[in-house]
Amino acid sequence: MYPGDIPLHDFPYRHDLDPPIMIKRLNPDEPWMKPAPDRHTFYALFWITEGEGFHHIDYTGYAIRPQTLYLMRPGQSHFFEVNEQPRGISIFFLEEFLYLNNQFKPTELFYLIDRCPTLYLRPAQAKILQQIIEQLLSEYKNERFGYLDALQHLTQLLLIYVRRFYNQPNTDFIEPTATTYLSSQFQRLVDQHFLTTHHLQSYSNMLGVTPGYLSEQIKMATGVSGSHVIRRRIIIEAKRLLAHSELTVSEICTHIGFKDSSYFARFFRRESGQSPLDFRRSYREKYRNILG
């Protein structure tokens, strides 16, 4: 029997007065480390120091290796398929935790990594992140004077270094630009409206720019067009419903805003290389033990 939807976990507060951040060593008994798909309402980073297998994020498997960082934004689905149990540290936080000022927007990073939410680090880079993450864990566990301020600044520092390393390991800094800001705003809007809004023109109207300019800026920031981002988000949702619900293709078609199931089926095949039912069958066959 397949679940109607992927479990969605709220932020795991320890107690009512807990700040919206949690840092701890990976524990295979926790729900987000089980070999079954789930989602979170919070941002998540998984720092892996040991292990072997794959971390599946939105239906793409990324190899588990030492000195690897995985970044996930709210709503993404994932699960671990491991040959050797991963060791490392998880960092969960809500967006409001980081906003000490209006200048630095650290969570923009999570909307610029769709091509690969995995950062395989060189030894010198890994050493820097390891030091920051271990200090974060120490501050979180010991709750010494000023620890909340320390956690905020250390988390921001961590994300600054991640942004420096991401995709450009030989450069010192990737300066935030109007292009990257527009891209992150666009992708936030797509996450919010993709079930009802499929056209780039609508998003460009929301952002106050022309469709051509928006698509050009998105491609500069992410390597793909704005329309591709919209299509990819629709396909991810369709795959979630095909894999984890018993909705018919026609019902899924209606849920994600298509009026014609035949057109949706052609759209799905064009974007994924399979028909909707072929994807459902192959995914469930491959992960029968995980889906239960």
The mean pLDDT values, 10 residues at a time, for the chain of 292 residues are 64 79 89 81 93 90 92 89 92 78 60 75 93 96 90 91 71 48 85 93 95 88 84 89 90 94 95 93 73 52
In DSSP terms, 77 is beta-bridged to 39
Res 66: pLDDT: 93
Does the domain at 178-291 match CATH 2.30.29.30? Answer given as no
What is the model's pLDDT at position 187?
Answer: 85
Handedness of CA 95, 98, 163, 62 (dihedral sign): negative
Q: Given the DSSP bridges, would you call strands 77-93 and 38-40 parallel, antiparallel or unpaired?
A: antiparallel
Domain 8-165 in CATH 3.40.50.150? The answer is: no
Per-residue pLDDT at 171:
35
**CB-based burial of residue 271 (10 Å sphere; 0-12 exposed, 13-18 middle, 19+ buried)?**
middle
- For tokens 């524990």, name the residue: 27
- Per residue in 185-233, pLDDT (tens digit) is 898 899 889 999 999 999 999 999 999 999 888 887 777 789 988 998 8
For 84, the token pair is: 């050797």
Domain residue ranges in the chain: 8-165, 178-291
Rounded to 5 degrees, what angle do the CA atoms 107, 110, 113 make? 150
Q: What is the pTM of this model?
A: 0.71
- Residue 112 to residue 96: CA distance in whole angstroms: 19
Give the model's pLDDT for residue 214: 92
The identity of residue 153, as a single letter, is H
Helices (H), the chain: 123-142, 147-165, 178-193, 200-207, 211-222, 226-244, 249-255, 261-272, 276-286, 288-291
CA 32/CA 263 separation, integer angstroms: 36
pLDDT in tens, 32-56: 777 788 888 899 999 999 999 999 9
Whether the CB-CB separation of 78 and 56 falls below 8 Å is answered with yes
The answer to whether the beta carbons of residues 96 and 20 sit under 8 Å apart is yes
- Look up residue 133 and give its two tokens: 């993450």
pLDDT of amino acid 290 = 53
